[in-house]
Chain A
Amino acid sequence: MRAALFLIALVVLALAPVAAPWLQFVLTLAIAKGFAALGVAVLLRGGLISIGHAMFYAVSAYAIAFLARAGVNEFVLLLLLGTLASTVAGLVVGAFMVRYRAIFFAMLNLAMSMVLYALISKLYGITGGTDGMRLAVPSFFGVTLDKARFDTALYYAGIVLMVGVGYGVQRYLASPLGHALSAVHTNELRLEYLGVPVRIVLLIAYTISAALAGIGGAIAAMAIGHILPEFAFWTASGHLVLVAVLGGIGGVAGPFIGSLFLEVLHTVAVGVTDAWNLIIGVALIGVIFFLPSGLYGLIRRRSGEPA
């Protein structure tokens, strides 16, 4: 039943830009943010909430901008190197972060992301400050394309990545390492007494979550073509947290579903109101009050499985 739903969803996604071309950009961005939100969701499994995860999204985007300026201009290379940059950043930051839990962890992540934002905004000479950096259209597997065709190629590449990486993350979460991550949240003491080095389990999770945000940042950078400090701003992190919570921490599809839903909503709402943060804030509180398992939980419950 779920496999059928999944295939239908994929087909719809693949055909959507044919039906409504304006959707392609929105959906590409939704997939990008979905990746980053998946990163947040992975950490949520371990009971850790990062309210600064946009920093890894931004690190990848800016890394790509720098690489492009240095002459690297191929999609695959940019994607891989951008993600690598975020992964390394995640490893370094994570090594410090995993000593902490709960609110300390959350706030430290927020603080670090705001420091990054401040640095990016101020170092005009390197990062272009608040003007940001522009990205020329990369070549796609060696083929030079115009913007429109590249965007389409990027979109379908995004779908493929979503399925492939998503599957990998699902295997990770179902593995002993993934279960150890949940176990940290449930009973860290017990895990320690079973001989498991909890910090390393968390560090691995943190690094993976940074890598996921990096994939998202890379896709977004190449889709938008203009990289700004706002990529690291705390409200961007807030958006990711809402998507992760909305999608429910039940599965890998959740954050992508949540992201698609929210991105379409945003596109519609922008025409009506300016108070997008307000909406997100209310939605976040609302979801926690009324839908603790998120949208994904809603789907699971209907197909008869326990949430």
Chain B
Amino acid sequence: MLDTLIPLAVDGLASAALIFFVAVGLTLVFSVLRVLNVAHGSFYSIGAYVAASIGLWIAGAGLNPWLSFPALILSAAIVAALFGPLVESCLMRWTYGKSEAIQILVTFGLFLILEDLQRIVFGVSSLAEDTPMQLLGSTRIGGVVYLNYQLLLIALAALVVIGLRVLLTKTRTGRLVTAVVADREMAQSIGINTNRVFILSFSLGVFLAALGGALATPTAGAAPGLGAETMVLAFAVAAIGGLGQIEGAALAAIIVGLARVLAIYFAPELDAVAPYIVMLVVLLIRPYGLFGQAATRRI
């Protein structure tokens, strides 16, 4: 029993790690920019395609296969550098202070654009490059076989949680970001360059999403339609955890990851639906998510 449950748990945690990267990027961007970017999932799928393409190129060019690891991080960085500042300054910035309807429509328009861009550049076929997973192999602990790559994913996710918390509380940039989150106008009036904070935060969000996609390629590959699937899943996780809550996103990702593998094990047709059932249940009990906060008094 245990030797079926533990690999399942590892599976669940590994997929939780991947969805955590996207969800935490989404929640971070929401918390700083106060905009929920409906196109966020596209950065995941573009990251996946870029990573798979680079990976395939590395394999095809006969280069050292261990390069595929830094290639994954590099893919995410490329996507962030390409889209982060551009999208933030041209599109997102225009929506600040405007009605939420405009924010939703603009980011939704962006979603449609990115979806077709991805299709035009990368085509409609799926790409897969599993070198990193193969390289790491597996370990056997106490009669159970673990994919080392999955363990790496879990470790990376934990690193990101700690890293983000340290970044926000201990570094100067992080504290600027916290100030902007707390009170944007106040931050501006004491001289903080909010534009730079916005670009940085948004690009970090894009990076995290693309990183999720890149890291997912060795096990899942890149396929069309990934953008939308990931978007709603990332939203579900961010909503369960509470929008703007980093640790909330981590906890929610774990819950959702485990729920998914349980579904795959017991009721496979429901595996796509499981995260949303969890979301439904959580939101019915706590409408703002596990760690979310209601808005402050207006009158």
Chain A residues with CB under 8 Å of chain B are 44, 47, 49, 51, 96, 99-100, 102-104, 106-107, 110-112, 114-115, 118-119, 122-123, 189, 233-235, 238, 241, 245, 274-278, 280-285, 288-289
Q: Which residues does chain A contribute within 8 Å of B109, judged by CB atoms?
A: 280-285, 288
Is there contact, CB below 8 Å, between B91 and A107? Answer: no
Is there contact, CB below 8 Å, between B112 and A277? Answer: yes
Q: Which residues of B (226-243) have their CB < 8 Å from a CB of A?
A: 228-229, 231-232, 235-236, 239
Q: How far is the CB of B33 from chain A (nearest CB, A)?
A: 12
Q: Closest residue of chain B to A249, judged by CB?
A: B101
Would you call B36 an interface residue if the criterion is a C-beta within 8 Å of the partner chain's C-beta atoms? yes
Q: How far is the CB of B123 from chain A (nearest CB, A)?
A: 11
Q: Which residues does chain B contribute within 8 Å of A280, judged by CB atoms?
A: 109, 112
Is there contact, CB below 8 Å, between A114 and B229? Answer: yes
7 tightest A-B contacts by CB?
A281-B112, A284-B109, A281-B113, A278-B116, A285-B109, A118-B272, A102-B100
Scoring B38, B109, B276 by chain A CB atoms within 10 A of each residue's CB, the highest score goes to: B109
Q: Which residues of B (272-299) have their CB < 8 Å from a CB of A?
A: 272-273, 276, 279-280, 284, 287, 298-299
Would you call B2 an interface residue if the criterion is a C-beta within 8 Å of the partner chain's C-beta atoms? no
Q: Which residues does chain B contribute within 8 Å of A284, judged by CB atoms?
A: 105-106, 108-109, 112
Inter-chain CA distance A52–B123, complex, in Å, is 25
Inter-chain CA distance A106–B36, complex, in Å, is 10
Would you call B183 an interface residue if the criterion is a C-beta within 8 Å of the partner chain's C-beta atoms? no
Report if A238-B108 is in contact (Cβ < 8 Å); known contacts: A107-B38, A115-B272, A285-B91. Answer: yes
Is there contact, CB below 8 Å, between B117 and A96? Answer: no
Q: Which residues does chain A contribute within 8 Å of B141, judged by CB atoms?
A: none
Would you call B269 an interface residue if the criterion is a C-beta within 8 Å of the partner chain's C-beta atoms? yes
Report if A114-B232 is in contact (Cβ < 8 Å); known contacts: A122-B269, A277-B116. Answer: yes
Q: Which residues does chain B contribute within 8 Å of A104, judged by CB atoms?
A: 239
Q: Closest residue of chain B to A280, judged by CB?
A: B112
Inter-chain CA distance A245–B269, complex, in Å, is 36
Would you call B27 an interface residue if the criterion is a C-beta within 8 Å of the partner chain's C-beta atoms? no
Q: Closest residue of chain A to B277, judged by CB?
A: A115
Q: Which residues does chain B contribute within 8 Å of A122, judged by CB atoms?
A: 269, 272
Inter-chain CA distance A112–B283, complex, in Å, is 14
Q: How far is the CB of A184 from chain B (nearest CB, A)?
A: 13
Tally of chain B residues near chain A (CB < 8 A): 40
Q: Which residues does chain A contribute within 8 Å of B115, judged by CB atoms?
A: 235, 277, 281
Q: Closest residue of chain A to B105, judged by CB?
A: A288
Scoring B104, B235, B276, B279 by chain A CB atoms within 10 A of each residue's CB, the highest score goes to: B104
For this complex, 6 residue pairs linking A to B, each with C-beta atoms less than 8 Å apart, are: A51-B108, A96-B284, A100-B287, A281-B109, A284-B109, A288-B102
Would you call B9 an interface residue if the criterion is a C-beta within 8 Å of the partner chain's C-beta atoms? no
Q: Closest residue of chain A to B276, judged by CB?
A: A115
Would you call B103 an interface residue if the criterion is a C-beta within 8 Å of the partner chain's C-beta atoms? yes
Is there contact, CB below 8 Å, between B104 and A111? Answer: no
Q: Which residues does chain A contribute within 8 Å of B229, judged by CB atoms?
A: 114
Is there contact, CB below 8 Å, between B273 and A106? Answer: no
Contact pick for A103, options B104, B116, B279, B298, CB 8 Å:
B104
Q: Which residues does chain A contribute within 8 Å of B236, judged by CB atoms?
A: 111
Inter-chain CA distance A111–B38, complex, in Å, is 11
Would you call B61 an interface residue if the criterion is a C-beta within 8 Å of the partner chain's C-beta atoms? no
Q: How far is the CB of B290 from chain A (nearest CB, A)?
A: 15
Would you call B161 an interface residue if the criterion is a C-beta within 8 Å of the partner chain's C-beta atoms? no
Inter-chain CA distance A6–B178, complex, in Å, is 55
Would you call B190 an interface residue if the criterion is a C-beta within 8 Å of the partner chain's C-beta atoms? no
Q: How far is the CB of B15 from chain A (nearest CB, A)?
A: 16
Q: Which residues does chain A contribute within 8 Å of B149, judged by CB atoms?
A: none
Q: How far is the CB of B104 from chain A (nearest CB, A)?
A: 5
